Amino acid sequence: MKRVILIRYGEIGLKGLNKGFFIDTLIRNIKSSMRSINNKKLEKIQGRFLLQVEEEDLEFAIHRLLQIFGIASISVATVIDKDLEAIKEASAVLVEEKIQQGQTTFKVQARRGDKSFPMTSPELNGELGGYLLKRFDALSVDVHQPQFQIYVEIREKAYVYTDILPGKNGLPVGTGGKAALLVSGGIDSPVAGYMIASRGVEVMGVHFHSYPYTSDRAKEKVIKLMEKVAVYAGKITLFVVPFTEIQLAIGEFCDEKYSTLIMRRYMMKIATRIGKQNGASALITGESIGQVASQTLESLMVTNAATDLPVFRPVIGMDKHAIIRIAEEIDTFETSILPYEDCCTIFVPKHPQTKPKMEHVLKQESYMEGIEEMMERAIAESERLEVYPT
């Protein structure tokens, strides 16, 4: 008996006239995630996709599918002809496996998508349940809290399975435009990128590197973080921006208490230019209200004024514990806490301004001679990397 993976989509099923665009994008993302598998077949049926791979590739395919935004759930199903005896035999094989695992209470849940099949769903439930009870003495029915269920779907073929594995849901990456993620080596920004990608947004990264004050290990750490986010978001284009000259100029010309805030504003300005040059319509940051001095409401307002793009801050109302839980779930946390400093953690003022006024910030920035040329150099000398999932 042949096994296939049934793939269900959730939110995109509610779309209207553009539903086809979302489905086609999800198909493309599934194919991309399976590119290392040689013998595979993906087809679309009503309300489902079917993926067929070799048995040795099954575990890898399941793992990848559960990381793709837009997939609601998957099941490994036995596919057979629409014949009652064949359905009974396929079900018996699955029940035997469950009994061996110590699960003995069950329920049958059939769905007749093909109305030409001679039995209704309730009739098939009763017929199949009765057959299994007679065949297996250890088995008993529990319609309220069964230890497992036998699912049968009657479509162009019959599909029999026992487990439904929950997917990531969300929208397929590539259906929601593109945004530039200001990515540091910390915990928050990879989580922010992951969360926005879940809404179908293609993520590109912009990292500010202050060599030699930050080491190549710090850059490698950021690349590793983007590799982990790319598992969910797909390939990420990462720009590594040389920021040392601008940071030193801020330290030389500006009042120390404004230095972090002004640094953030120039990051926003540079990220905006790089983003627009590469098709981004928004910025993403990992800022959370009150977490540090540059993330007070007053500071965020001043930072926002440095860009004319919308700024998405998906973790803005989350505490650190909630952010860490997501970082652990997507496997970025252990990399984020590696002790390699980024440019946001050097040249930190002793007494940062937490309630800045816009006119004071602009006055400080007016002291920075040649800043426009510095920004142009930083953008021109940026390193462009293509980051793929690990």
Residue numbers belonging to the annotated binding site for ATP: 182-183, 207-208, 264, 286, 295
251 Cβ contact partners less than 8 Å away, ≥ 6 residues apart: 259, 347
304 CB burial (10 A radius; 0-12, 13-18, 19+): middle
Q: How many CB atoms lie within 10 A of CB 130?
A: 12
Angle between helices 259-277 and 244-253 (to 10 degrees): 150
In this structure, are residues 108 and 98 in contact, taking their beta carbons and an 8 Å threshold?
A: no
Token pair, residue 159, equals 């599909």
Distance from the first to the final alpha carbon of the chain: 33
Q: Binding site: residue ranges?
A: 182-183, 207-208, 264, 286, 295
In 179-213, which positions are buried (b, 16+ CB within 10 angstroms) versus exposed (e)? bbbbbbbbbbbbbbbbbbbbbbbbbbbbbbbbeeb
Give bridge partners of residue 199 from the DSSP assignment.
Answer: 171
C-alpha to C-alpha distance for 390 and 374, rounded to whole angstroms: 35
The count of residues in the chain is: 390
Task: Answer for the pair 184, 285: CB distance below 8 angstroms, yes or no.
Answer: no
Q: Which burial class, exposed, middle or buried, applies to 163 when counting CB atoms under 10 A from its CB (0-12, 13-18, 19+)?
A: middle
Q: What is the 3-state secondary structure (H, E, C) of 309-343?
A: CCEECCCCCCCHHHHHHHHHHCCCHHHHCCCCCCC
**Peptide bond between residue 339 and the one before it cis (omega within 30 degrees of 0):** no
One-letter amino acid identity for 287?
E
